[in-house]
Structure 1
Amino acid sequence: MIVLYDIPSTAPGVAWSPNVWKTRYSLNYKGILYRTEWVEYPDIEATCKRIGAPYTEKREDGTPLYTLPAIHDPSTGVSLADSVLIAEYLDATYPDTPKLLPPGSRTIQHAFLAAYRLMLPALWQFALPGTLPILNPPSEAYFRRTKFGPMIPNVAPTGDLRQEQWAKLKDDFGLLAGWLDKGEADGPYILGDSASFLDFAVAGYIIWLRIIWGEGSMEWSDIKRWHNGRWDAFLKRLEKYETVV
């Protein structure tokens, strides 16, 4: 049984991390047995080193940065971090399960993912402050004392600035909606008739927003109305892969 390493929230068993959601969706979609092990932010580096998962990037000072998601597969002894690398590993190691990166789509998926990371610049000023209240004290303190801390204000924008930036966020999602509109005739998913890693990458950010604000929040209620209800429908299409094991 694969072990998936995730960051806990103040509500036991409630997963929130958008990047880990990409892997959770992937495992559920492929029907691969796994269990979740919860790791607070300050313990991520030690955990990755313990299981042999490599670092995923470097800090400005050149020191390695270890991140989640990470997995350990005891059937092969492999430990990996980074959601797209995990997706490639799962496709190669479990070839009889549905493909996350179907043949012929690898280049376009990597290109889409690179562009997608840059598409939502207004997101962070709302989502990062929204995440802080659901972190357990060790993880919240870690956020505030690392280099990421100064980027996370205690509160999201307010007043006229909030309205302006919220409208910008809607426009950012509108650009993504425009991309997805062009493929609607080919099927309900981004690549057509079957889900792929791209669907899970997009859904990871959307479900993050739903979880940090809550189903009944003003923010989520607003997002549900954007672009003819596209984003709520997007999550509902993937709802059967939301199980937290």
Structure 2
Amino acid sequence: MSIKPIIFYDIPSTAPECAWSPSTWKTRYSLNFKGLFYETTWVEYPDIVELCKAIGAEPSMIEQDGSPYYSLPVIHDPNTGAIVSDSARIADYLDAAYPNTPKLIPAGTHTLQESFRVAAYNATRQHLRPYVIPAVAGILRPRSKEYYVRTREEHFNKKLADVVPTGEAHEAAWKEVEAGYNRIKGWMRDGDNFVMGDTISFADFVIAGDLQWCMKGFGADSDKWKDMLRWDGGRWAKLLDDLKKYEGPVEDIA
């Protein structure tokens, strides 16, 4: 029986090679790392909820008020009929459905992987958000941009341009971003290339997904991105370089 491509739902942009979302990058890395056959279906922001409901994808989380929150990534595997949302749940599914491919969650490390994912988010993402969320608005396509800007300004209760720290506030806030990455480095032994030493795992894609988010949002030639590449002696630049072979295939929107 021939293997059909997994359908991978991602959010498009005008950035080089289109992919930009930290969450969907985790799944893109995962699919390529496992060598699985897939095709990207690009979904604009205003269409995500309707798509998820139409194909029967579960919400990625439940809000505090009990309402469902739908987001990407989502995959539809026509070989098994499975429809899976959320990058961590997708990683678990891919390991179970394709056991003869490299493991995203090595045996006995599920708690480690989940704990690292939460810890890394707390160390870096909360400090990056005021910088990258406004920057991403500049790379989205028109339909997504209108939705994205409107909903994020409602969330922050201010214009996106006013979310970005400036002046002395920027100096302190940017140091917090760097300190977060230093914290992650401190969890790793000297000489280790990856979170699990020499073994690539989903935890590395958590870090790399956020780095892709920053690079695409800020721009590869921006001062902020160049600054990040210098941190920790170039550790994060090296991580992206080590994982580069798992970025493809490039699937720009038609």
The residue number in structure 2 matching 1:172 is: 180
> Which residue, out of 68, 72, 76, partners 2:72?
68
For structure 1, which segment, 73-82 or 51-60, has the greater mean C-alpha deviation from structure 2 after superposition? Answer: 51-60
Q: CA RMSD in A?
A: 1.7
Residue aligned with 2:187, SS: helix
The residue number in structure 2 matching 1:129 is: 134
| TM-score normalised by length of structure 2 | 0.90
The residue number in structure 2 matching 1:143 is: 148
Q: Distance in 2 between matches of 1:71 and 1:60?
A: 25
Residues 2 and 148 of structure 1, relative CA distance in 2, 3 Å threshold: farther
Residues 158 and 148 of structure 1, relative CA distance in 2, 3 Å threshold: closer
Percentage identity across aligned positions? 45
Contact kept? 1:100, 1:196, Cα under 8 Å:
yes
Contact kept? 1:144, 1:150, Cα under 8 Å:
no
Residue 224 of structure 2 aligns to which amino acid in structure 1? E
1:102-117 to structure 2, matched below 5 A, reads: 102-117=106-121
Q: CA deviation at 1:92?
A: 0.5
> Which residue, out of 19, 35, 44, partners 1:15?
19
Q: Distance in 2 between matches of 1:160 and 1:108?
A: 37
Q: CA deviation at 1:62?
A: 2.5
Residue 83 of structure 2 aligns to which amino acid in structure 1? S
Q: Distance in 2 between matches of 1:100 and 1:10?
A: 29
> Which residue, out of 204, 207, 213, partners 2:209?
204
The residue number in structure 1 matching 2:166 is: 158
The residue number in structure 2 matching 1:228 is: 233
The runs of at least 4 aligned residues of structure 1 exceeding 4 Å deviation read: none
Residue aligned with 1:53, SS: coil
Residue 142 of structure 2 aligns to which amino acid in structure 1? P
Q: CA deviation at 1:144?
A: 3.1
Residues 223 and 117 of structure 1, relative CA distance in 2, 3 Å threshold: same
Contact kept? 1:8, 1:39, Cα under 8 Å:
yes
Q: Distance in 1 between matches of 2:219 and 2:16?
A: 15
Q: CA deviation at 1:190?
A: 1.2
Q: CA deviation at 1:231?
A: 1.0
Deviations 1:176-199 (A, max 9, x none): 11112x2x45x4221122210001
Residue aligned with 2:148, SS: helix
Residue 81 of structure 2 aligns to which amino acid in structure 1? G
> Which residue, out of 85, 88, 95, partners 2:92?
88
Contact kept? 1:143, 1:149, Cα under 8 Å:
no
Residue 88 of structure 1 aligns to which amino acid in structure 2? D
- 1:33 and 2:40 matched: no
Contact kept? 1:8, 1:136, Cα under 8 Å:
yes
Number of paired residues?
A: 242
Q: Distance in 2 between matches of 1:11 and 1:56?
A: 25
Q: CA deviation at 1:119?
A: 1.1
